[in-house]
Amino acid sequence: MTAPGPAVPTAELHTGSTATVELRARVAVVQGVIGSLMMFLGSLGTGWIANGSPMVRHPLVIELRVNAWGVYTCTVLLTLGAMLLIRSWLRLGQRLRGWPPGSLKTVTMAVIAWSVPMLFCVPIYSRDVYAYIGQGRLMLAGKDPYVEGISSLDNWFMLGADPEWAQARTPYGPYFLWIAAAVVRLTDAQPDLSVMLFRAAAYVGVVLCLVYVPKLAGLHNLNGARALWISVANPLFLISFVASAHNDALMVGLAVAGVYFAATKHPLLGILLVTGSIGIKPITILLLPFIGLLWAGRNASWLRRFVIWAATASLSFGILALSGMVDGLGLGWAWALLDPTPGYTGYSPSGFLGQQVERIGNHFDLHGDQMAATFRRALQGGAILLVLVLMFVGGDRKIVRRMAVAFAAVVLLSPIIQPWYILWFLPLLAATGIKDNWQIRSIYIVITFFVVFGAQDQLSVWPFINLSVSVSQVAFVIAVAFTLYLALIDPRTRTLLTHGGWRGWFGHGPAWPSTELRPSR
């Protein structure tokens, strides 16, 4: 028995022709564009603008940022826009139910249409993009970003970076540092132009995902349009990888493309692309053992697997080592893997459960903090153990799926999870199968949670503005109210989590049974 499809109003279950389905889907696309435009307008008053940016002297920006009405209006626009985008994403999936021919084109159109306004946003949900400017300046100044923080530079704070980056070593690979140096050289560190170029680099990663997520899904006899809708059209992906301009977008895009080529008997090209991904952010080094398995081929002996693993590692690390010699940084990026950032986030499984362990320990007059630290290290060790198991168990079956699960385990069992970290492995999971039961419903919840979290957590308001109610509180109330509306009131979306009862959550059949074995055209 297959798992039931997502809840869709009865009137939409009999949609008639493919043209009718596409027309109704485009209504959701248009609604998403409205949400994205609202976010663009809202970013003018609440996005992160560098103190040294000419934008701070623009009359419209001044009007929106020095008056309470402007700040509140922009907060409402940004938050409502984000929530409308969530609803549009959910409705797009409902209206394309069954994923008929033409669905891939519609989802691609949605990604492009929803992302275009975000290309021109003031950075929202994160200001890491301004730290990239500082890292590019370090490179041009002949300093080692793996040793020195951006506070060693003059005027670093005026260029918009979070003070947390002041003395932090960069966790990025050499190729991204080359990109950062090139951007700063071209713009002379002008913050607004730099943001646009970093955003363009990130958008290359978005395009790579647009192209290769459906192709990778097709290799696994899954619907490419649905995989793209889950992994790339979702609002968290677009906000994090376009509006926030995170370099993770390029890392993910190169990784997905590399996995696709490795899976289609082009292992050397796959290794080169994944090595490029590691050169952006080193975390994708986790993919190399599985790339080696794809290279080894079907029914490979253990001797061949070990030889191929050695060849894969030698080729990738050799290229990275040679790249490090170009600018004298060597393998300095390896610190990000060997000496990760201390601390934890309270919403990560490791962070939250560790807090409970600490409370229990303290209740019994034990060393709760030490117990929590040990617990978190145990979870990390468990993730590494699982990676090894997935490397050695399973032979040549479901290699990409095992890769995705291994990547997800390392991320989800880490003490620190930033909202966009789940986007690292989501394209690989979507391309290898996310069932229409607790799996897709968990995606709904996680995406919505992180969009809501970012909407109230990352708002930039000038400190001298006197507000009777904080913008974070306003954004939180709006986001929670809209989420409750989607879950309990909206006749179109309220059954998404409840359709089919417990069987809807724990059914074991494949998702979208009518088209699961037919790749999208």
Q: Of 402, 177, 430, give the one whose Cα is nearest residue 286.
A: 402
How far apart are alpha carbons 414 and 380 in whole angstroms?
6
| R_g over Cα of the chain | 23
* Secondary structure letter of residue 254 according to DSSP: H
**pLDDT given for residue 15 in this prediction:** 43
CA 247 to chain centroid: 10
How far apart are alpha carbons 395 and 406 in whole angstroms?
15
CA distances from 484 to 291, 441, 449, 520 (A): 43, 15, 12, 33
Q: Of 433, 482, 486, give the one whose Cα is nearest residue 7.
A: 486
Q: What sign results for the dihedral spanned by CA atoms 423, 424, 429, 432? A: positive
What pTM was estimated for this model as a whole? 0.91
Concatenating the DSSP letter of every residue in 295-363 gives HH-TT--HHHHHHHHHHHHHHHHHHHHHHHHHHT-TTGGGHHHHSPPPS--TTSHHHHHHHHHHHHHHH
pLDDT in tens, 287-301: 999 999 999 999 899
Q: Of 107, 106, 95, give the one whose Cα is nearest residue 16.
A: 95
- Read off the pLDDT band of 17 (50, 70, 90): low
Domain borders along the chain are 21-341+416-462+469-497, 342-415
Q: Give yes or no for a contact between 237 and 210, defined as CB atoms under 8 angstroms apart.
A: no
Residue 228, both tokens: 């793209």
Contacts 24+ apart (CB under 8 A), 338-345: 340/414, 340/416, 341/171, 341/416, 343/415, 343/416, 344/376, 344/415, 344/416, 345/415, 345/416, 345/417, 345/418
What's at 479, amino acid-wise?
Answer: A
pLDDT in tens, 320-368: 999 988 888 888 888 877 766 778 888 899 999 999 999 999 988 888 9
pLDDT in tens, 53-69: 999 999 999 999 999 99
Average pLDDT over residues 158-187: 94
- Read off the pLDDT band of 508 (50, 70, 90): low
How far apart are alpha carbons 37 and 59 in whole angstroms?
20
Q: Give yes or no for a contact between 486 and 90, defined as CB atoms under 8 angstroms apart.
A: yes
**pLDDT given for residue 21 in this prediction:** 76
**pLDDT given for residue 354 in this prediction:** 93
How far apart are alpha carbons 338 and 447 in whole angstroms?
29
pLDDT in tens, 259-315: 999 999 999 999 999 999 999 999 999 999 999 999 999 989 999 999 999 999 999
Our separate counts of H helices and E strands in the chain read: 21, 0
